[in-house]
C-alpha cells in the first residue's frame, strides 16, 4: 500500500469550525486599502542583489512565498547560502491599520478550503510575495559555511531581489532523483545531509512522520468533497528545512551576541527566540520502555534523536516510537531575552538556540525577530515599534499557536468522522500506537483511510490488530474503534 493514497471522499463544511473558533476571513477595509497601496519604506537604501539566481520551494499552488534560496559550492569546498525572506516590515506602516490587525491575528490559519490570513492576500500573495520574475524587497541572509556545512560567517541586510523559478517539493525530489536539479539548488542534497548529520550530533530530534491531511477530491466536479490523505515527507522536504533551521540558528546567535555584548550603558537590544525545554526524564524513560516493547534496540548512551533517525519509518515499530516521541517535544514557546540562564534559551528539538525569521508573511513573530537582526547587523538602533510591541506580539503568538493546533485538529476530526460515518460497524486493520492505561484509551493508526483514533479494549502496543468502528459522529467530531482479540489481516503501515 502506498503512503499517498486516495480514498472515499465526502462533502465537508469547514465554516462551522471557523465560526466555532471566531476566525473571520474578511480583513478590515482600511487595512486592505493600506496593503493595496503599500510601498517599500526602504527602497532608496537597498542593495541591488537581483543578480542572485534565487528560486522558491513551496507546496503546489502556494502564493504566499516567504523564502527564496540560492545555494552554491565555494572553491574551498564549502557552501555559500543566499536566503531571501520577504521584507514585510518594509511594507507595513508602524502603528497603522495593517500593523494593528496583524498584531491581533498573529498568524495565518490554514483550512482545507482556504485560509484566514495574517495579511490581506493582495500583500501576502501579491506585492510582498517572492513570486518569480518580479522585483521584490527582501531581508537577504548571507551565510558562509565550511565543508561540513557549519556556518563561519553570517549576516542579513535589506536588498532588492528577483526570483528566477517557482519549484515545489515533489518536483525538487524528482529532479534530485534523476540528477537534474536547478543549478541554484544543485548543492542542496549534500548540504541537507550534512546539516541533518550535524543536528543529530547536537542532539536534535526530528520526527519523520507522514502528514495526515485533508485534500479536495478533484474527481468530484462541482461538489465540495474532501478526503483524507497521507503526505509522505520527501528527502527534499528535509533538505530544504535545514536551510530555514540554519537561518533561525544564525538569527538567534546574532541576537544573543548583541544582547550579551552590550556594554555602552544603553538599554540592551531586545531579542526574540523560539525555545523548548529539554524532555522530561520520565518521557525518555517511557520511550525506552516502548522501544523495548516493540523490539527496537536503543543503547543507553545513544540519544533519542539518533535512535529515531536510524529507524525505518515504514515499519509499525517506527510509527509507534515516533508517535511516542511527540511527548519529548513539548513546551515550545517564544522567549524575549531578559538576562535568562543560557540553558533555558535553547530549543531542545533543534539542539541549539533558535529564532523564527523565515516566514513573516504567515507568522507575526518573524517580522519582529528579523527587524532586530537587521538592526544589529547594521549596528543601528532597533526600531521603537519593535521594542514597544514585542511583548504584545509574543502574547499574540502564544495565543494563536494554541488556537492553530486546535483548528487543525478540528478540521481533521470533522473530516474523519464525516468520511467514516457510512462505515459504522466495519472492521479495519490497525497498528497500536499506545496501549491503554488507567486514564486514557489506546491510540491506533488506520492506514485506509489514514486515521489516528482512540480504541476501547486492550490492544497490545506495537501490534497489528483488527478493530471495529463503533462511533463516527460529525456533529461531535468523534471517532472511536473497539478491539476484542485477534491479529490484523494485513500490515496497515507499509509502502510495499
Contact 139, 40 (CB under 8 A): no
User: Taking all residues of the chain, what is their mean pLDDT, rounded to a whole number?
Assistant: 91
Angle between helices 364-377 and 235-260 (to 10 degrees): 50
Structural domains of the chain in order of their starting residue, each with its CATH number: 10-276+332-416 (no CATH), 281-328 (no CATH), 424-482 (2.40.50.140)
Angle between helices 97-105 and 364-377 (to 10 degrees): 120
Cis peptide, bond prior to residue 449, ω within 30 of zero: yes
pLDDT at residue 6, rounded to an integer? 42
- Cell numbers standing for residue 434: 499506545
pLDDT at residue 448, rounded to an integer? 85
Summarised one tens digit per residue, pLDDT across range 451-477 is 989 999 999 988 889 999 999 999 999
pLDDT at residue 494, rounded to an integer? 47
Mean pLDDT of 384-389: 96
Question: Rounded to an integer, what distance in angstroms lies between the CA atom of residue 88 and that of residue 398?
Answer: 21
CA dihedral 165, 169, 174, 180 (to 10 degrees): 30
Mean pLDDT of 38-53: 97
Res. 406: pLDDT tops 80: yes
Strand partners, 73: 79
The CA-atom distances, in angstroms, between 381 and each of 178, 259, 269, 373, 385 are 49, 12, 8, 11, 11
Strand partners, 154: 143
Q: Which range, of 62-76, 140-154, 325-339, 482-496, averages the lowest pLDDT?
A: 482-496
pLDDT at residue 1, rounded to an integer? 32
Burial of 185 (0-12, 13-18, 19+ CB in 10 A): buried
Instruction: Express as a percent the part of the chain with pLDDT over 70.
Output: 94
Helix residue ranges, H only, 203-339? 235-260, 281-293, 304-309, 316-325
Mean pLDDT of 16-21: 94
Contact 97, 162 (CB under 8 A): no
Summarised one tens digit per residue, pLDDT across range 306-364 is 999 999 877 888 888 988 899 899 999 999 998 888 888 999 999 999 999 999 999 99
- Cell numbers standing for residue 463: 501490534
Q: Is the dihedral of CA 287, 350, 183, 124 positive or negative?
A: positive
pLDDT at residue 3, rounded to an integer? 38
Amino acid at each position: 500500500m502506498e503512503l499517498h493514497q486516495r480514498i472515499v471522499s465526502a462533502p465537508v463544511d469547514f465554516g462551522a469550525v471557523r465560526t466555532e473558533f471566531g476566525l473571520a476571513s474578511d480583513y478590515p477595509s482600511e487595512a486592505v486599502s493600506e496593503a493595496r497601496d503599500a510601498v517599500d519604506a526602504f527602497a532608496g537604501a537597498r542593495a541591488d542583489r537581483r543578480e542572485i539566481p534565487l528560486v522558491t520551494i513551496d507546496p503546489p499552488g502556494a502564493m504566499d512565498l516567504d523564502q527564496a534560496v540560492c545555494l552554491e559550492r565555494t572553491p574551498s569546498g564549502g557552501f555559500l547560502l543566499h536566503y531571501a525572506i520577504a521584507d514585510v516590515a518594509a511594507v507595513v506602516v508602524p502603528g497603522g491599520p495593517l500593523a494593528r490587525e496583524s498584531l491581533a491575528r498573529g498568524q495565518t490559519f490554514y483550512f482545507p478550503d482556504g485560509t484566514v490570513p495574517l495579511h490581506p492576500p493582495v500583500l501576502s500573495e501579491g506585492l510582498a510575495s517572492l513570486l518569480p520574475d518580479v522585483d521584490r524587497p527582501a531581508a537577504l541572509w548571507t551565510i558562509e559555511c565550511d565543508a561540513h556545512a557549519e556556518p563561519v560567517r553570517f549576516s542579513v541586510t535589506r536588498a532588492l531581489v528577483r526570483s528566477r523559478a517557482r519549484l515545489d517539493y515533489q518536483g525538487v525530489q524528482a529532479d534530485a532523483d534523476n540528477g537534474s536539479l536547478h543549478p541554484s539548488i544543485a548543492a542542496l542534497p549534500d548540504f541537507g545531509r550534512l546539516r541533518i548529520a550535524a543536528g543529530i550530533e547536537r542532539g536534535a530530534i526530528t520526527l519523520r512522520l507522514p502528514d495526515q491531511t485533508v485534500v479536495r477530491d478533484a474527481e468530484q466536479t462541482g461538489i465540495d468533497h474532501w478526503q483524507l490523505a497521507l503526505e509522505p515527507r520527501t528527502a527534499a522536504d528535509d533538505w530544504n528545512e535545514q536551510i530555514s533551521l540554519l537561518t533561525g540558528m544564525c538569527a538567534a546567535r546574532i541576537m544573543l551576541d548583541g544582547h550579551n555584548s552590550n556594554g555602552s550603558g544603553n538599554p540592551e537590544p531586545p531579542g526574540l527566540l523560539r525555545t523548548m525545554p529539554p524532555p522530561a526524564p520520565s518521557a525518555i524513560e517511557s520511550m525506552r520502555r516502548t522501544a523495548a516493547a516493540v523490539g527496537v534496540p536503543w543503547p543507553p548512551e545513544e540519544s533519542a534523536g539518533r535512535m529515531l533517525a536510524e529507524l525505518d519509518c515504514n515499519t509499525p515499530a517506527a510509527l509507534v516510537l515516533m508517535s511516542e516521541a511527540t511527548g519529548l517535544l513539548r513546551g515550545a514557546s517564544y522567549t524575549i531575552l531578559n538576562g535568562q540562564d543560557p540553558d533555558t534559551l535553547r530549543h531542545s528539538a533543534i539542539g541549539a538556540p533558535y529564532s523564527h525569521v523565515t516566514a513573516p508573511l504567515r507568522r507575526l513573530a518573524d517580522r519582529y525577530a528579523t527587524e532586530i537582526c537587521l538592526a544589529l547587523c547594521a549596528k543601528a538602533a532597533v526600531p521603537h515599534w519593535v521594542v514597544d510591541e514585542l511583548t504584545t506580539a509574543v502574547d499574540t503568538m502564544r495565543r494563536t499557536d494554541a488556537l492553530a493546533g486546535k483548528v487543525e485538529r478540528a478540521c481533521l476530526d470533522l473530516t474523519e468522522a464525516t468520511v467514516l460515518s457510512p462505515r459504522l460497524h466495519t472492521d479495519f486493520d490497525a497498528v497500536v500506537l499506545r496501549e491503554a492505561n488507567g486514564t486514557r484509551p489506546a491510540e491506533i493508526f488506520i492506514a485506509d483511510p489514514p486515521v489516528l483514533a482512540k480504541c476501547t479494549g486492550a490492544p497490545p502496543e506495537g501490534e497489528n490488530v483488527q478493530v471495529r468502528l463503533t462511533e463516527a459522529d460529525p456533529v461531535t467530531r468523534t471517532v472511536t474503534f473497539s478491539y476484542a482479540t485477534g491479529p490484523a489481516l494485513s500490515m496497515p503501515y507499509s509502502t510495499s
